[in-house]
Structure 1
Amino acid sequence: MSFTVEPQIADALRSAADRVRSELGEEAGSFVEAALLRTLTDTITLAEDGTAFVITGDIPAMWLRDSTTQMFPYLRLAADCEPLADLLAAVVRRQLRMIAHDPYANSANLGPTGAHHDANDLCQDPMIWEQKYEVDSLAFPIIFGHRLLRITGRGDLFDGLAHGVLRTIVDQWRLETEHEERSQYRFVRDIGIPTETLDRDGLGSPLGVTGMTWSGFRPSDDACTFGYNVPANLQAAQALMAIADVALSVYGDEALAADADALRTSILEGVAAHGVVEHEGSRIYAYEVDGLGGQLLMDDANMPSLLSLPLDAPDVLDPELADATRAFCLGMANPYRYSGTVATGIGSPHTPEQYVWPIAFAVEGLTGTPERGREIIRLLLATDGGTDRMHESFHVDDPERFTRPWFSWADAMFCELALHLTDGPAPARSFAERVEVSGQER
C-alpha cells in the first residue's frame, strides 16, 4: 500500500518549506516542499508487517544506505510530528529485518519476487536485489535508529529482533577484520566491468590484518580497490558507539556493549596506524588502504565519504586530520574533483568523467560556511536540467547532461542543506550534543 500523507505530516512539511522560503527564497522553498512530498508519496510502500519499504527513486529496490539518507530531512521534524516519527520507525524496522535476513546484502525486494540486479549473481535469494557487502549498509540504519531514539524517545524500535541484529553487526564486523582467514563471503559478477566484481574468485584484493573491518564495495556500489575503506570504518566506529549505548540503556547487555567498545577501539587504532598518510606536507585520511602498503588517495561523491565524515562520524574524527583531509577533497589533487564552465565539484568513478554530484555539493554545504551553503543552494537550483529534480550527477559544462532522472537521495540532501541553513544543524548528530526529549535529557 502506498503511503498517504496525512494532514499533520503535510502541515509539518509545509511549515518547514515556508521557513526555507523565508530564508532562502521562493524557488528553494517550493523545491523543498515538492521533494519532501514526492519522497513520501512516490518511494514508500507500507507493508503488511507494519514496516515501510523505500525505493531509491528510479530503481524498484530498497538500499539500506539510500533509505536512510532519504529520511534525513524528516528526522528534523519527527519530535513535533508523531505520525512522521511513526513512519521513520517503520523504515528502521524494515531495515533491521533486512539485516536480520542477510547482513551481507546491500539492497532487497519488497517480497520474495526473485528480482535481481543481475540474474547470474551468486546470491539467488528471491528477497535480495543485490548482495554487495558494504560496511555503511549496516552503519547507516543503526546510527539513524539511535538518533530517532534520542530525538523522540521511541524505544519500541529496539525490540528482540533489533537486539539480535546489533549482535550480528558487531560479530560480522569483527569477523571481517580477518577477512582473508575467516570470511565465507564471495561476490562474482562476470560482465567485464572490474568495479562490478571482486578479485580472486570473489574474495577481493589481498589484505593485511589492521584492526579495521573489510568492505567489498564502496557506498557507490563499486568494488573497493583496497579492502579497508577508511570513511566506512570511521562511520562503523560511530555506529559502534550507538550500539554500545543501546545495548546498555535499552537491553542492559553489558557484554554486547563491551564487544562494541572493543571493536571500535580496534578500528580506530587501525585507521590511525594504516589509514592516515602524508600528502604534500600534511597528514590526511586515505580513502582506502590494504594494510600491506597500498593506499588510495581520492574522495567519492557518495556517503560516507572523506568530506562527509563530520556528518557520518563526528565523535571519532581527529579534527586536525579532518580539516586537512577536507582541503584535499576540495582541491584538484582529488582525482574526482572536476571543474567546468558551470560547476566545480566532486564526482565518482561510478559515473562518467566531468560529471559532479549534487550529493557532494550538499555535503560541502553542510560541513562548510553558511555563505558557501547558500551558494550551493543557488547552484543546485540552476543545474537541475530544467527537471525540478536533483540527479545523480551532471556534466560540469552542461547540466542538461545528467545521470538518473530521479535520484531521491539527492533530493533529500538538497532538502537537508536547505533546512540546515534555515533551522540550524540537525539534532542528535553527535554524542556530545544533549537532546531534550519530553523534558528529559538523553
Structure 2
Amino acid sequence: MSFSVKPRIVDALRSAADRVRAELGERAASVVEQALLRTLADTITLADDGTAFVITGDIPAMWLRDSTTQMFPYLRLAADCEPLADLLAAVVRRQLRMIAHDPYANSANLSASGAHHDSDDLCTDPLIWEQKYEVDSLAFPIIFAHRLLRITGRDDLFDDLGHEVLRTVVDQWELETDHEKNSGYRFVRDIGIPTETLARDGLGTPVAVTGMTWSGFRPSDDACTFGYNVPANLQAAQALLAIADAARTVYDDTQLAEDADALRARILDGVARYGVVDHEGAKIYAYEVDGLGGRLLMDDANMPSLLSLPLDAPDVLEPQLTEATRRFCLGMANPYRYSGSAATGIGSPHTPEQYVWPIAFAVEGLTGTSERGREIIELLLATDAGTDRMHESFHVDDPQQYTRPWFSWADAMFCELALHLADGPAPTRSLGEGAGSSAQKES
C-alpha cells in the first residue's frame, strides 16, 4: 500500500520548509515542501514484510543508489521525528533484502513480477529489474544505515540479515579485486548502444589486479570505460569503515572488522598507486583506470562523483588531492562541463551534450561556500522550466528542454542543499577518528 504521511511527519517537513523560508525565501521553501511531501506520498510503497519500496519517480523500480539519495534530506530530521526514523529504517530493510537476494543487481521490482528494463538481459530473475553491477549500489545503503544508527541510536537494522549482508558486501568487493580470475558476473545488452553492455561477451574491458574493486557500470548506469571507478572505490572504502565499526560495536565480529579494514587499506593503496594522476602540474584523482595504463579524466554528474567525494567518502580522502580534483571538475578541462547562456555546469555521457544536471549543481553547493550554494539555489529555481521540480538534466541555453519530468533524486538534492544552507551540514557524514580510519579526513 502507498505510504500515508502521518501528521507528525508533515509537521516536521513544514518546520524544515519554514527554516528554508527564513533563510532562502518563499519560492525555495515552497519547492522544498512540495518535494519532501511528494517523495513520501508518491514514491513509497509499504510492503507486507514491513519494508518500504521506493521508486525513482518516473521509473517503477527501486534502485539501491537512488532510494538512498532520495532519503538524504529526511535523515536530517529523523532524530526528532520517530515516525520518519521508522520509515527510513523500513527503506534500509528493503535495501538489505535486495542485496541479500542479488548483490550484483542495481535495481529490483516490488514483487517477482518479471518486469525488466530489457527482457533480453542475461538475468531473468523475476524480482530483478536490472542487474548492472555498480560498486556504489552496495556502498550507499551501508553508509546510510550506519548514519541512521548513529543519528537515532536504533541498532535493530543490524539484525542477522544485516550481519549477513555486511559479510556479503566485503566478500563480493574482495572477489572483484581480481575480476579477470574470480568473477562469474557477465552483462550483455545487444541494443547497439556501447554504454549499455560490457565488452568481451559481458566480462568488461581488461583490468590488472590493483587492490581496487572492479565495477561493471558507473553510478549513471553507463558501462565503465575502465573497470576501476575511482569515486566508487573511495566510497567503498568509506563503507568499509562503517562495516568495521558495526562489526565491532554491534556484532562483536572481530573477523569481519579485520577483513573490512584490510580490504579498505588495499583499495586505498590501489587508488593511491593507480588512481592518482598528473594533470597540468597537479595531482588529481582520475575518474576511471584499469591498472594497465588506461585512465579517464572526466567527472560525471551522478554520485558518487569526483566532485561529491567530500560527501560520499569524507574519511578516506587526501585533502590536497581533493581540492585539485575539484578545480579540474569545475573547469572546462572536464569534458562533461558545459557552458551556455542559462547555466554552466556538469553533465553526463548518460544524457545529450550541452545538458547539465541539477544533482551536480547541488553537489557543488554542498561542497562549496555558502555564497555559492545560495547562487545555485537561485539558478536551479530559474531553470526548472516553471515546473517546481528538479529534472535529470536541462540544456545550458534553454532550460525548457529537459530530461525526465519526475526525477526524485534531483528533487532530494535540491532539498538537501536548501536544508544545508538553512540548518548547516548534515549530521554524522564523517565517522571521525573514532571509526579507526588511518586516512586523512577531509576538512
* TMscore range, shorter length: over 0.9
Q: Deviations over 1:346-403 (max 9, x none)?
A: 0000000000000000000000000000000000000001111100000000000000
SS of equivalent residue, structure 1 residue 231 = helix
Query: CA offset at residue 306 of structure 1?
Result: 0.0
Q: Which residue of 2 aligns with 1:186?
A: 186
Q: Which residue of 2 aligns with 1:285?
A: 285
SS of equivalent residue, structure 1 residue 278 = strand
Q: Which residue of 2 aligns with 1:153?
A: 153
SS of equivalent residue, structure 1 residue 45 = strand
Q: Deviations over 1:110-144 (max 9, x none)?
A: 00000000000000000000000000000000000
Query: CA offset at residue 433 of structure 1?
Result: 7.9
In the alignment, the residues of structure 2 paired with residue 426 and residue 335 of structure 1 have an alpha-carbon distance, to the nearest angstrom, of: 30
Taking structure 2 as the reference length, what is the TM-score of the superposition?
0.98
Count of aligned pairs: 435
Q: Which residue of 1 aligns with 2:240?
A: 240
Q: Which residue of 2 aligns with 1:44?
A: 44
In the alignment, the residues of structure 1 paired with residue 31 and residue 391 of structure 2 have an alpha-carbon distance, to the nearest angstrom, of: 13
Q: Which residue of 2 aligns with 1:94?
A: 94
Q: Deviations over 1:271-304 (max 9, x none)?
A: 0000000000000000000000000000000000
Query: CA offset at residue 45 of structure 1?
Result: 0.1
2:105 is aligned with 1:125:
no
Question: 1:377-388 alignment to 2 at 5 Å?
Answer: 377-388=377-388
Q: Which residue of 2 aligns with 1:197?
A: 197
In the alignment, the residues of structure 1 paired with residue 70 and residue 431 of structure 2 have an alpha-carbon distance, to the nearest angstrom, of: 22
Q: Judge conservation of contact 1:231–1:287 (CA < 8 Å) in 2.
A: yes
Residue identity opposite 1:114 in structure 2: G
Residue identity opposite 1:246 in structure 2: A
Q: Which residue of 1 aligns with 2:221?
A: 221
Q: Deviations over 1:165-220 (max 9, x none)?
A: 00000000000000000100000000000000000000000000000000000000
Q: Which residue of 1 aligns with 2:4?
A: 4
SS of equivalent residue, structure 1 residue 258 = helix
In the alignment, the residues of structure 1 paired with residue 86 and residue 427 of structure 2 have an alpha-carbon distance, to the nearest angstrom, of: 18
Residue identity opposite 1:393 in structure 2: S
2:260 is aligned with 1:260:
yes
In the alignment, the residues of structure 2 paired with residue 434 and residue 421 of structure 1 have an alpha-carbon distance, to the nearest angstrom, of: 27
In the alignment, the residues of structure 1 paired with residue 193 and residue 109 of structure 2 have an alpha-carbon distance, to the nearest angstrom, of: 24
Residue identity opposite 1:70 in structure 2: Q
Q: Which residue of 1 aligns with 2:346?
A: 346
**Displacement over 2 Å in runs of 4+:** none
In the alignment, the residues of structure 2 paired with residue 334 and residue 326 of structure 1 have an alpha-carbon distance, to the nearest angstrom, of: 10
Q: Which residue of 2 aligns with 1:336?
A: 336
Q: Judge conservation of contact 1:217–1:223 (CA < 8 Å) in 2.
A: yes
Q: Which residue of 2 aligns with 1:56?
A: 56
In the alignment, the residues of structure 1 paired with residue 262 and residue 290 of structure 2 have an alpha-carbon distance, to the nearest angstrom, of: 21
Q: Which residue of 2 aligns with 1:438?
A: none
2:275 is aligned with 1:302:
no
SS of equivalent residue, structure 1 residue 67 = helix
Q: Which residue of 1 aligns with 2:438?
A: none
In the alignment, the residues of structure 2 paired with residue 6 and residue 235 of structure 1 have an alpha-carbon distance, to the nearest angstrom, of: 34
In the alignment, the residues of structure 2 paired with residue 429 and residue 23 of structure 1 have an alpha-carbon distance, to the nearest angstrom, of: 23
Q: Which residue of 1 aligns with 2:439?
A: none
In the alignment, the residues of structure 2 paired with residue 296 and residue 319 of structure 1 have an alpha-carbon distance, to the nearest angstrom, of: 21
In the alignment, the residues of structure 1 paired with residue 112 and residue 26 of structure 2 have an alpha-carbon distance, to the nearest angstrom, of: 44
Q: Judge conservation of contact 1:428–1:434 (CA < 8 Å) in 2.
A: no
Taking structure 1 as the reference length, what is the TM-score of the superposition?
0.98
Residue identity opposite 2:82 in structure 1: E
Question: 1:9-48 alignment to 2 at 5 Å?
Answer: 9-48=9-48
Q: Which residue of 2 aligns with 1:73?
A: 73
In the alignment, the residues of structure 2 paired with residue 426 and residue 305 of structure 1 have an alpha-carbon distance, to the nearest angstrom, of: 18
In the alignment, the residues of structure 2 paired with residue 301 and residue 334 of structure 1 have an alpha-carbon distance, to the nearest angstrom, of: 11
Q: Which residue of 1 aligns with 2:369?
A: 369
In the alignment, the residues of structure 1 paired with residue 381 and residue 227 of structure 2 have an alpha-carbon distance, to the nearest angstrom, of: 37
SS of equivalent residue, structure 1 residue 338 = strand
In the alignment, the residues of structure 1 paired with residue 13 and residue 404 of structure 2 have an alpha-carbon distance, to the nearest angstrom, of: 25
Residue identity opposite 1:37 in structure 2: L
Q: In percent, how many aligned pairs have the same letter? A: 84
Query: CA offset at residue 434 of structure 1?
Result: 8.6
Q: Judge conservation of contact 1:3–1:44 (CA < 8 Å) in 2.
A: yes
Query: CA offset at residue 431 of structure 1?
Result: 1.1
Residue identity opposite 1:295 in structure 2: R
Residue identity opposite 1:316 in structure 2: V
